[in-house]
Amino acid sequence: MKKVLILMGRYLPGYKDGGPVRTIKNLTDILGNEYDIRIMCHDRDHGDEIPYSNINVNTYNKVGNAKVYYVKNGKFTFKTLLKEIKKVDVVYCCGPYNNYAIKTMILKKIGFFKQKLVIASMGSFSKGALSLKSKKKIIFLTLTKKIGLFKKIIWSVTSNVEERELKEIFGNQVKYIIAEDLPRIEKVNHTYKKKKNELKVIFISRISKMKNLIGAIKILSAIKDFPIKFDIYGNIEDEEYWQECTTQLENLPTNINWEYKGECNSNDVIETLSNYGVFLFPTLGENFGHVISEALLAGCIPIISDTTPWLDLDKYKCGRVISLNDIDSFINAINEFLNMEQFEYEKYVSNAQQYIIKKNKESISNTGYKKIFNCKDEDINV
């Protein structure tokens, strides 16, 4: 059985990092019986000062289909990383910017281990991602390319879009494997009952500039005639940004009844989404977007930006995909669902769930993660 070491910031029981945690949880659920999967991560959730309870630090704990090594205080040392890397066949690192990623790439560059090193780009090179903290990222990328830090690695990308973004940064000779994120496999009953001229809208994601809650607020601010319930779920990652959002929320017209519901445990996301009519998500960019997949499973209709891989929702009549530059189309889409009767809306719910169930089956049967974990030269694209 191939041994795989996954390096990441946080894992279960944490949930505040959203998509990355769900990506690896789904992966271990589906492939954990075929591979010996080991995970190294922080011993506490994002922003927390207290470690998780009932874990052993600096050693492995059995969590689902994986063994999880919780690093005390998140102090990934060269010595600790190298010790665990030498026990496995392949190393899979979530993202290029974190200290554990940089240290692992340094160890690889200077020849301290021979195992294949795969770095998941995780949307790091999308225009939306590069626009945030752009000066620091440009300096980092310029420096690391100059010293050749990325030369001995293979990239994991989730789509042809990420492939193009990767090549724009590193050139056409970059090595990569396409592995679409594995889905959640459960389905729940959609409980929301649609009434004409009423709508329950949900925004569920980390509260940060990248997720663009302010964009959602601006869209809803143009809806003035009929009642809308707008609930917001998510970890407040950027307090200053949340204050900007709060100011705009308080200026919404009186027909928009908004409420911040706090954080939502990842185990409760699908059931929560099933209680809403529309998932409004004008994100600046997603390399996959687990919450979009989860909304479809829940029958909550996504109205999203065109900065994700989910570009065919209009084609299958299970959502709306709109340019961030076209706010009028976002407004029109909200009005369209606001004015729907229940029987019209139920067609979208049925379409959404049928679409995602079929897509998930195809994703699991054709997963690129097996190519990554087996890591044969013929599976690597250039």
Residue 188 lies in a domain: no
Sign of CA pseudo-dihedral 324, 326, 328, 332 = negative
Tokens at 204, concatenated: 């569920």
Separation between Cα atoms, residue 93 and residue 100, nearest integer Å: 8
87 and 203 together in one domain: no
Instruction: Please report the pLDDT score of residue 382 as a whole number.
Output: 65
How many domains does the chain divide into? 2
Residue 192 lies in a domain: no
Instruction: Tell which phi-psi region holds residue 37, choosing left (phi > 0), alpha (psi between -120 and 50) or beta.
Output: beta
204 and 160 together in one domain: no
141 and 243 together in one domain: no
Enclosing domain of residue 310: 199-361
The structure tokens 């509260």 sit at 207
148 and 238 together in one domain: no
Separation between Cα atoms, residue 7 and residue 153, nearest integer Å: 14
Helices (H), 186-258: 213-220, 239-249
222 and 311 together in one domain: yes
Tokens at 149, concatenated: 């830090």
Q: Considering only CA atoms, which of 273, 286, 287, 285 is closest in space to residue 353?
A: 273
Half-sphere exposure of 11 (CA within 13 A, CB side): 28
112 and 22 together in one domain: yes
Q: Considering only CA atoms, which of 83, 31, 81, 21 is closest in space to residue 52?
A: 21
Instruction: Please report the pLDDT score of residue 138 as a whole number.
Output: 82
Residues 6+ apart with CB under 8 A from 295: 273, 279, 281, 301, 302, 352
Residues 6+ apart with CB under 8 A from 55: 43, 61, 70
Residue 129 lies in a domain: yes
The residue length of the chain stands at: 382
Kindly give the pairing relationship between strand 60-63 and strand 66-71: antiparallel
Residue 320 lies in a domain: yes
Instruction: Tell which phi-psi region holds residue 251, choosing left (phi > 0), alpha (psi between -120 and 50) or beta.
Output: alpha
Per-position DSSP letters for 225-236, written without gaps between them: SS-EEEEEE--B
372 and 342 together in one domain: no
Per-position DSSP letters for 60-83, written without gaps between them: EEEETTEEEEEEGGG---HHHHHH
Separation between Cα atoms, residue 73 and residue 47, nearest integer Å: 12
172 and 209 together in one domain: no
57 and 205 together in one domain: no
Tokens at 212, concatenated: 């663009």
Half-sphere exposure of 270 (CA within 13 A, CB side): 18
Q: Which residues of the chain are under the pLDDT cut of 70? A: 186-187, 382
Residue 273 lies in a domain: yes
Separation between Cα atoms, residue 319 and residue 180, nearest integer Å: 20
Stated pTM of the model: 0.74
The residues that bridge with 45 in the sheet, in sequence order, are none
Amino acid sitting at position 106: I
245 and 276 together in one domain: yes
217 burial level (CB within 10 Å; 0-12, 13-18, 19+) = buried
170 and 118 together in one domain: yes
372 and 299 together in one domain: no
Residue 265 lies in a domain: yes
The residues that bridge with 204 in the sheet, in sequence order, are 233
Separation between Cα atoms, residue 227 and residue 254, nearest integer Å: 8
Q: Which tens digits make up the pLDDT trace of 306-315?
A: 999 999 999 9
- Domain holding 13: CATH number? 3.40.50.2000
Separation between Cα atoms, residue 188 and residue 48, nearest integer Å: 31
The residues that bridge with 66 in the sheet, in sequence order, are 37, 63
Instruction: Please report the pLDDT score of residue 15 as a whole number.
Output: 86
Separation between Cα atoms, residue 156 and residue 124, nearest integer Å: 12
Residue 41 lies in a domain: yes
